[in-house]
Amino acid sequence: MPGEPDIAAVAQAIGEPARAAMLLQLMDGEAHSARALATVAGVAPSTASSHLRRLRDAGLVIATDAGRRRLHRLAGPEVAQLVEALAALAPPRLPDRLQPSPPAGPLLQARACYGHLAGQLGIDLAAVLRKDGVVDELAPGETGVVRTFDHPLLTTLGVTELPGSGPAVRACLDWSHGTAHLAGALGTALLTALLDAGWVRRRPGGRALRVTETGRVRLGELGIG
């Protein structure tokens, strides 16, 4: 019979500032080289490789070869949920050398949270879709369904179906505002559609997103923002 899970092993892998900074960077859902993650963490590439090995051994990160490069990403959505939950409980500030670039302001406005939209914009979209009956009111961590795609926001963005498998909707606790935004397949579809439509753009070197002028106008027409 299995014993109690060894959560201390996972906690020890996360519990180092450079490794924590790497995990936060990987929350953008993209794959990154060890050199890029070294820059984020403020350590030498050789040191970053050691940290990444520790994260892989703990099952938090996976690595794949892309030509001559070795790229790293989170091992799965359950890791992203763990990091987001820890961020909601954590003190509000990392050491100065590990502060994200761009600074926290853009992260609070809009950011990628492992394939879905987070920050104030993510919260605003979730509130509209809940108010209009597209999704149900859910506590963080709960899953639900999409009641209808017949909504001005979804219609304008061309979201008529959901990608992939897994829950259609999951309420994800937003560490920056203490309330839930939308994860799951709907969250992924919304972020993809916003990027494809040019309403938001990725900021260089991080997971913060920038709302474009087109996005501000179109969201304003929909009564959002």
Query: Could you give the CA distance from residue 195 to residue 215 in angstroms, rounded to a whole number?
Result: 10
Quote the pLDDT of residue 99.
Answer: 55
> Which residues form the domain of 137?
105-221
Question: pTM score, two decimals?
Answer: 0.71
Beta strand 116-118 with 69-74 is unpaired
Rounded-to-integer distance, Cα 195 and Cα 28, Å: 13
Q: Are residue 86 and residue 123 in the same domain, yes or no?
A: no
Where is average pLDDT lowest: 10-14, 72-76, 90-94?
90-94
CA distance 101 to 210: 13
Number of domains present in the structure of the chain: 2
The answer as to whether 136 is a domain residue is yes
> Residue 103 has what pLDDT?
47
Chain segment 172-190, per-residue pLDDT in tens: 888 777 788 999 999 999 9
